[in-house]
Structure 1
C-alpha cells in the first residue's frame, strides 16, 4: 500500500489561510444579520427621504408652509385633472400631466412632515394660527374661488386652454410667494429645500405658460 506524502509547510499554510478567511466571512455575515438598526434599502421616491429628514428642528413658518401648501397643491392637481377630456392643446395636456405628477408626491411629503411634527394637516384646525380662514383657502395667495373652478370645469377646447393657463399662472405665482416666504423664515432644511424646488420649477412653468398664452 502506497503512503500519501505529508503536505508541505507551504500547502498547510495555504489551507490554514483559507479556513481563517471562510470563518471571518461567516462571522461577518452573522454579525450583519443580527443588526436590525442597519440602514434600510434605498427608495427612489423623494417623499420618503424628505419626510425622514424633516423630523428635525422646525419653526412655525415651516408648519404654516406645509399646512397652506398642501391645499394649494391639491387645488392645482384638481385643475390639472380637468384637462383630461377638456383641453385641446397638446402642450396644455402635457403641462397638466406634469403638474399632477410633481405635486401629488409633494402633498404626501408635506403631510408626513406635519405628522412627524405633531401638527394638524389643515391650517383651519391649528389654533396656533390666529386669523386663518376656515373657508376654501381664500387667505392663500393664488387660490381659485369656487366660481373659478366651476367655470373651468364647464369650459372645453380652446376656451378651457386659455382659462386653464391664465388661472394656473396666478396659482403658480401664489405658490412661489409662499415658497419664497418659507425660504426667508423657515428653519427646517427639508422644507426649505422643497421651497427652493417650488420656486424653480413653478417659475419655469409660468414662463412656459406665458408663451402658450401668446399663441392661443
Structure 2
C-alpha cells in the first residue's frame, strides 16, 4: 500500500496546475492524507516488518500527468484515479477478510482506507460525469 499511496500522491501533486479549484483542492487533500499515511506505514514497516520493501512487486496504475494541462489533465487524473481507488478498496478488503491481521492498528487503517477511498470514488465519478459527459462510469486504464 505504501507504493500505491506514493503513486497517488505524486499524481495528485500534478493537480496544482489544474484550472479547476475543486481539482486543486482535491489534489492538496490527497497529498496531505497520503503523505501522513505513507509515514505511518513506513513506521510500521520499520517496527514490525523489518526487511520488507514498501515497493516490492508494485506495478504503477497511473499515467504520467506531467505533460498534461487543462481538461486533459483533469480528465486523465479522474479516469486513472477511479480504478486506482478501487484497487485500494479491494486491497484493504482482502487484508481485512483473508490476511489474519496481526496488528489492530493495521486493521483499523485498512478499514479507514476502504471507506475513504470508496466514498471519494463517487465524488470523482461525479466530476467526470459533470465535466466530461457520460455517466461517470470509469474507463479502463490506458484508454
TM-score after normalising by structure 1: 0.56
For the pair shown, the structure with the greater C-alpha radius of gyration is: 1
| Structure 2 residue aligned with 1:144 | 61
TM-score after normalising by structure 2: 0.83
Coordinate RMSD, CA, aligned: 1.5
The alpha carbon displacement at 1:187 in A equals: 2.8
1:123/1:97 Cα in 2 relative to 1: closer, same or farther (>3 Å)?
closer
- Off by >3 Å, runs of 4+ in structure 1: none
Q: Does 2:49 align with 1:83? A: no
Gaps of 5+ in 1: 1-68, 125-131
Per-residue CA deviations over 1:1-21 (Å, capped at 9, x if unaligned) read xxxxxxxxxxxxxxxxxxxxx
Summarize the alignment of residues 44-193 of structure 1 with structure 2, pairs less than 5 Å apart. 69-85=1-17, 87-122=18-53, 133=57, 137-138=58-59, 143-144=60-61, 148-149=63-64, 152-184=65-97, 185=99, 186-193=101-108
Measure, in 1, the Cα distance between the counterparts of 2:12 and 2:54.
23
Determine if contact 2:3/2:54 at 8 Å carries over to the other structure.
no
Measure, in 1, the Cα distance between the counterparts of 2:49 and 2:69.
43
Gaps of 5+ in 2: 132-143
Q: Does 2:134 align with 1:209? A: no
